[in-house]
Chains A and B, each alone.
Chain A
């Protein structure tokens, strides 16, 4: 099983700041199978990025993904008020799929 470790656990930031979230996998994976999700309280997750760097339909271009091998990054270029949420990375290359434990981006 591939374990995903996200860091940091929580980020306290102000609107307008740049955000960098990390996801590290326990073994090298194809970047084609790494996704990022955003989840707000009481809502289902929303797909932001798939294939490590491809924005899903309707996702603003302030969100970008990068990385390869075991290290992947989600960047939010300039935080908007609606971006405060929990972010998860996911590996979906083969069973079992796995999720990171999440990074909470909260208002400072």
Chain B
């Protein structure tokens, strides 16, 4: 069974940093592209970042470009999202997803507030 388990969310002050992780199991992690998608409270879905299977190519939404970095460790079946210079607009539930969205984790809440 495919499982994706996010962690690392929490409360952070504006301007701060946070690193999200997504532990994958139940499939060959190194064979799949992975993504982060977020959802602000009461709002719709917003694609954040994607990375290809070997980590050689990554893409970020304009809203996070230069502040967020997606990466992966295929030896540990783990996906990461390094988030810097956080603002209130980054407050959301962050989901990791396999490929374009065949499978999703349960999400981790990031709250940016002073």
Contact = CB atoms under 8 A, between A and B. Distances in A.
Interface string B28-53: 00000001010000001111001000
Interface residues of B, number: 19
Q: Which of A56, A95, A97 has the most CB of B within 10 A?
A: A97
Contacts of A95: 50, 59
B100 A90 contact: yes
Contact of B107 (A44, A88, A92): A44
B106 interface: yes
Interface residues of A, number: 21
B108 to A, nearest CB: 11
A53 B35 CA distance: 22
Interface in A11-66: 33, 35, 37, 39, 44-47, 50, 56
B45 A44 contact: no
A96 B105 CA distance: 21
Contacts of A92: 100-101
A97 B105 contact: no
A98 interface: yes
B104 interface: yes
A90 B101 contact: yes
Contacts of A98: 47
Contacts of A33: 100
Contact of B101 (A45, A96, A101): A45
- Scoring B45, B50, B59, B61 by chain A CB atoms within 10 A of each residue's CB, the highest score goes to B45
A44 B47 contact: no
Contacts of B105: 44
16 contacts: A33-B100, A37-B101, A44-B104, A45-B37, A45-B101, A45-B104, A88-B45, A90-B100, A90-B101, A92-B101, A96-B59, A96-B62, A97-B35, A97-B50, A98-B47, A99-B46
Interface of B: 35, 37, 44-47, 50, 59, 61-62, 95, 100-107
